[in-house]
Amino acid sequence: MTDGAPPARLLPARPFPPYAFVSPHWPHPVEHPDGHSRGRIEAPAEPLDPADWRRSQDYLFGFDLWNHGYYWEAHEAWEGLWRVNDEPAIDALLRGLIKLAAAGVKVRQRMPRGVRIHAERAAAHFDDVRSLTGSGAFCGLDMEALRARSLDLASNAEALLGDSTKRVEVVFAFKLEPDR
């Protein structure tokens, strides 16, 4: 995790959508006829391998999306991985990242209660990863740092509220960067 300017893209050749979805201000990406992902058929995600996470395009693209303000889209990238997963520590990690992304959506929607709930749940999932792995690091991420950031978001939800009418907005002062 880093602070400041967005980190270098992990997958620079993979384009971002034209807007970050925030209901009700932008068309739903899949359900609305003008949605940015309408009609796109995605191949099922390959399961995330904790020993070889650097090769997971969906995992890495989730970080690119998150770090650049596409929280709903990051949620979707990680949810695709979660759906094909059958390992408890990966399940907990992906659930935590999904909840953290959902907190970003709630910031953009100006819903502090939602930010708090999702951030607290993310912290609990990162705790679960530590318990399941017996380690503070997993799939390139520091679980204690993620837990602390999540709890900080939960306790400062009102101060974070963003602008849902912008096409894209980075609302968090920290970035997620897996160790390479």
- pLDDT tens-digit map of 40-57: 767 788 899 999 999 999
In this prediction, residue 120 carries a pLDDT of 98
Percent of all residues in the chain with a pLDDT value above 90, rounded to a whole number? 68
For residue range 87-111, list pLDDT tens digits in order. 999 999 999 999 999 999 999 989 9
Q: How far is CA 135 from CA 53, 95, 100, in A?
A: 16, 18, 20
**Domains of the chain (ranges, CATH numbers):** 53-163+173-180 (1.10.3450.10)
Q: How far is CA 118 from CA 35, 42, 61, 100, in A?
A: 25, 26, 21, 6
- Least reliable range by pLDDT among 24-28, 122-126, 151-155, 159-163: 24-28
- Least reliable range by pLDDT among 8-17, 122-131, 153-162: 153-162
In this prediction, residue 77 carries a pLDDT of 94
In this prediction, residue 2 carries a pLDDT of 47
In this prediction, residue 137 carries a pLDDT of 94
